[in-house]
């Protein structure tokens, strides 16, 4: 078996030639291949964005003063794929009684909790929920009630309590109806930014209790109570 001949270059910077084929690199690529790869990448990104998020336009005043009509928001679906709703989250969900309608509300009650509304104020398991973002707690509608949230449900209320159709009307919402957590507001430009969600402490005041007073014992008819001076 013959050994390949190597020619030593006289110039150290000169190219070395051997009988072994040398690989070649080409920077030219097919234009069609570039177009196809770019289109596939765009399609993959678009599919992921639509899987992870949804876009909605606020219509109505039930979340004033925190959300107003004609604001455009992005909702994160991933938040509840990898986690669970928390109290204070602003969520978008399909209206349970008409699934082609979507509502935006705030999560107030969580699974297993008892939600009591007394004179417009919310109590969770007997403790007052501090809600400084509410302007009018009750006006023009029933302000009292009590609900038990099921194991796979949440209790939702609008921030504008006197103009909101929410769990006070249709009860707790099943988890399956929730689209996602409101994430970003992108229109109008002056409202652009991340959406803030409220957090609460556990130091709420206890729910007031009312002790009924005993009615006075009636005096039998036809009798008189004597005075020190005798009956008159």
Catalytic sites, residue numbers: 62, 105
- Half-sphere exposure (Cβ direction) of 9: Cα atoms closer than 13 Å: 8
DSSP state of 188: S
User: What residue spans of the chain are helical by DSSP H?
Assistant: 31-52, 78-81, 167-170
Distance CA 46, CA 40 (A): 10
Where do the DSSP E strands lie in the chain?
53-57, 72-76, 90-94, 102-109, 114-118, 121-124, 127-128, 145-148, 153-157, 173-174, 178-187, 193-194
Per the DSSP assignment, residues forming a β-bridge with 60 are: none
């Amino acid at each position: 078996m013959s050994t390949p001949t190597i020619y030593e270059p006289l110039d150290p910077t000169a190219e070395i030639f051997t009988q072994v084929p040398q690989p070649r690199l080409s920077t030219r690529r097919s234009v069609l291949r570039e177009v196809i790869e770019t289109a596939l990448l765009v399609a993959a990104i678009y599919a992921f964005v639509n899987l992870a998020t949804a876009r909605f336009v606020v219509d109505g005043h039930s979340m004033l003063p925190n959300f107003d009509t004609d604001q455009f928001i992005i909702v994160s679906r991933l938040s509840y794929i990898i986690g669970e709703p928390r109290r204070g989250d602003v969520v978008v969900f399909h209206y349970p009684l008409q699934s082609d309608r979507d509502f935006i509300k705030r999560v107030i009650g969580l699974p297993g909790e008892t939600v009591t509304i007394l004179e417009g104020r919310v109590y969770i398991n007997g403790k007052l929920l501090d809600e400084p973002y509410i302007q009018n707690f009750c006006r023009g509608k029933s302000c009292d009630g009590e609900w038990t949230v099921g194991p796979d449900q949440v209790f939702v209320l609008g921030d504008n309590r006197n103009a909101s159709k929410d769990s006070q009307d249709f009860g707790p919402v099943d988890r399956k109806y929730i689209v996602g957590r409101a994430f970003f507001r992108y229109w109008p430009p002056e409202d652009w930014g991340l959406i803030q969600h409220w957090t609460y402490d556990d130091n709420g005041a206890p729910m007031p209790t009312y002790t009924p007073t005993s009615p006075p014992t009636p005096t039998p008819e036809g009798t008189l109570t004597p005075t020190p001076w005798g009956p008159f």
